[in-house]
Structure 1
């Protein structure tokens, strides 16, 4: 009896063994607890500690108040888990996406596309894209398209009296119509109607005096905005959109713009 008491008393060897066993048991219990509840009070994570859920997507709650999900996703559904409402994570292709859904689970707003062509978009209940950024250039809007006003100009040989169509006789390009607008898209589509008794009517679309594209006769052209994302940005700054024209025979010709709007790439 004395030997046992001496061995377990104070810092005796048996006491040390018992302490090690208790600590090991506590450690194993902490790592393998399968069901824990707190009916009253607070479950605390103290400074320097963290809660980690491993295997299928590593989830960590740390003492800084962060919730970190590694390789998994944050998903919110209705009460019976039949309708997805919010999803933040990677899709089946491994692309990072996020999506907020309508009440029936159809996409309402989110980040879509591919890794190098991602874009955000807002959709109605029929899936129509109402507003989004441009995925190709990564700069400015894709939807909606915005109209650009165009009115007759007063070039040196342009006559604006009489018929509504501006008339000109020049063989060199000169400004015939123009519009002042803000630009929110990387391209412009314009429809030009021409009338000339002879010769060929050539025309150019210019933005701030820089040629965006050209064509001949009555046609529709869609051109990239020159300097998009560098000298021209979607920041509300006004820009001049101009139609320049000429007639190779130098005879009186007329042009009119029946459409002009900016659109996605």
Structure 2
């Protein structure tokens, strides 16, 4: 009986290994389990997941500018969550979007502190008894805003107050400010924990206006922060003091 030489067997094993490696290369990795250890991608490698229609669902890796990005998409390809870089502010940020691509939650690329979206309201409550217009029924109450007589202000007086968990770096306030009766000059101040973050002086008739943005980055991350709107005035008469909205943004 003729017996093959060992060298022939070795040659066949080598050839078989080569063919198996070529098949694996063509087919790719269909399933894998990593026990302990891990998988490390280097030199700007990336991970991409596509669905059965070839639509990219997940991407982790460099973008066109070489910066590392994460993108998660919905069924069909609409964006769900992603990271991106802001050319305006030079910072990366993350964002979650609705099905139309509109950002509903994101952090702040501008400051690097707190959220950018969504804007969150700060409820404020009146700390005064509004002026009544028995002698001037055509103003004030008829105009739909609250007001107070300057004689009721004991120097700088708290008119509105509330509490906030400060999740953003900025705040803005909207309301009715200025004269209601006569022409007193009035200064309004917005304070966080007793510290003035913004002020505005009005020497004109009552007008609806938004004031701010004012920076509150020093308070970002703090809970139960006292928020106050104060007023001080010179002269005599009645001033408008109606808060319509106060938002962290």
Query: Residue 94 in 1 paired to residue 66 in 2?
Result: yes
What secondary structure is seen at the aligned counterpart in 2 of 1:100?
strand
Question: Following the alignment from structure 1 to structure 2, what is the Cα–Cα distance between the partners of residues 98 and 141?
Answer: 19
User: Which of 111, 114, 120 is 1:137 aligned to?
Assistant: 111
What is the distance in 2 between the residues matched to 1:208 and 1:192?
21
CA distance in 2, matches of 1:65, 1:114: 35
In structure 2, C-alpha distance between the alignment counterparts of 1:192 and 1:224, rounded to whole Å:
15
Kindly indicate whether the alpha-carbon contact (under 8 Å) linking 2:147 and 2:240 is maintained by their aligned counterparts in 1: yes
Q: CA deviation at 1:185?
A: 1.4
Deviation, 1:234, is 2.6
| Maintained 8 Å contact 1:201/1:245 | yes
Q: Which has the larger radius of gyration?
A: 1
SS in 2 for 1:67: coil
- Aligned positions of 1:59-70 closer than 5 A: 65-70=37-42
- The question of whether the paired residues in 2 share the 8 Å contact of 1:171 and 1:250 is answered with no
> Which residues of structure 2 form unaligned runs of 5+?
1-6, 26-30, 133-140
8 Å contact from structure 1 (residues 207, 225) kept in 2:
no
Distance in 2, matches of 1:89 and 1:245, equals 54
- Residue from 189, 193, 199 that aligns with 1:204: 189
How far did 1:253 drift? Answer: 2.0
RMSD: 3.1
Identify the residue that residue 214 of structure 2 maps to in structure 1.
224
Cα 1:151–1:80 change in 2 (3 A) is closer
CA offset at residue 161 of structure 1? 6.3
TM-score by length of 2: 0.71
Write out aligned runs for 1:1-265 (5 A): 33-36=21-24, 65-70=37-42, 71-81=44-54, 83-114=55-86, 116-154=90-128, 159-160=129-130, 162=132, 165-169=146-150, 170=153, 172-194=155-177, 195-196=179-180, 197-217=182-202, 218=207, 219-226=209-216, 228=217, 230=218, 232-234=219-221, 237-263=223-249
1:84–1:221 distance in 2 versus 1, CA, 3 Å: same
Moved over 4 A (4+): 161-164
SS in 2 for 1:68: coil
> CA shift at 1:257, angstroms?
0.7
2:159/2:229 contact within 8 Å kept: yes
Contact residue 175 and residue 243 of structure 1 kept, 8 A:
yes
CA contact (8 A) 1:166 1:176 kept: no
1:215 positional shift: 1.4
- Number of residue pairs aligned between Structure 1 and Structure 2: 208
In structure 1, list runs of 5 or more residues that go unmatched: 1-17, 38-42, 45-60
1:209 and 1:168 map into 2 onto residues whose CA distance is 24
